[in-house]
């Protein structure tokens, strides 16, 4: 355990406790998405929401069927240019931590099975429970100095250059665009 902790501190500048907290946060986020959001044909905000839209378009427009939810993999692919931005414009440590978190998030989104039908009949209840669990997971990841990538990176870069904006405002604006597209579809 000491060797793992030393390696984490050397490579990611993270101790084992903070690393595990971030990974558990990634797991909770993915669990909430796959158990409460996806079975109700709902979409997330942020880059994952864009990935879910792409998945839906691939499934409906091209009649493609997948044995697992590919939105996590699409999310990772969309994040690749954002990783480069994080490395160049934010910091190497933030880049490494974000990369690790998005890798784990992708694994969890891919491996956690999505039920064919919603576990709870009331969609509002699913959204509330899913939002709470995903929020706790995201909060754990962020409080451990990790990041789920996506709009966090975009928001940080923009807020670093424009002090009048915040990560939350940027994320909110991106989410409005995503939800308008979801509404149209």
Nearest by Cα to 114 from 50, 60, 64, 68: 68
pLDDT the model gives residue 67: 85
Q: How many helices (H) and strands (E) does the chain have?
A: 8, 0
pLDDT the model gives residue 66: 87
Residue 15's pLDDT band (boundaries 50, 70, 90)?
confident
Is the entire prediction scored with pTM above 0.75?
yes
Question: Cβ neighbours of residue 53 under 8 Å, at least 6 residues apart?
Answer: 43, 178, 181, 182, 185
pLDDT of 128 strictly over 70: yes
How many other C-beta atoms lie within 10 A of the C-beta of residue 122? 11
**Helix, strand, coil percent content, the chain, rounded in steps of 5:** 75, 0, 25
Which is it for the CA torsion 79, 85, 90, 95, positive or negative? Answer: positive
Name the percent of the chain lying above pLDDT 70. Answer: 99
pLDDT of 180 strictly over 90: no
Q: How far is CA 91 from CA 42, 66, 156, 160, in A?
A: 34, 36, 11, 12
Contact 38/127 with Cβ under 8 angstroms? no
Lowest mean pLDDT among 3-12, 15-24, 87-96: 3-12
């Amino acid at each position: 355990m000491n060797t793992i902790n030393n390696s984490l501190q050397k490579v990611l500048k993270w101790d084992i406790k903070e690393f595990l907290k971030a990974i558990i946060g990634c797991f909770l986020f993915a669990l909430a998405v796959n158990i409460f959001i996806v079975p109700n044909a709902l979409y997330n905000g942020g880059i994952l929401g864009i990935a879910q839209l792409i998945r839906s378009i691939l499934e409906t427009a091209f009649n493609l069927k997948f044995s697992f939810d590919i939105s996590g993999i699409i999310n990772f692919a969309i994040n690749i240019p954002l990783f480069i931005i994080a490395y160049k414009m934010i910091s190497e440590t933030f880049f490494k931590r974000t990369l690790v978190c998005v890798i784990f998030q992708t694994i969890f989104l891919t491996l956690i099975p999505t039920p064919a039908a919603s576990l709870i009949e009331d969609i509002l209840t699913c959204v509330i429970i899913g939002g709470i669990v995903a929020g706790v997971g995201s909060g754990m990841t962020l409080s451990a100095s990790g990041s789920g990538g996506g709009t966090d990176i975009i928001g940080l870069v923009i807020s670093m250059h424009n002090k009048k904006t915040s990560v939350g405002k940027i994320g909110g604006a991106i989410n409005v665009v995503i939800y308008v597209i979801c509404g149209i579809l």
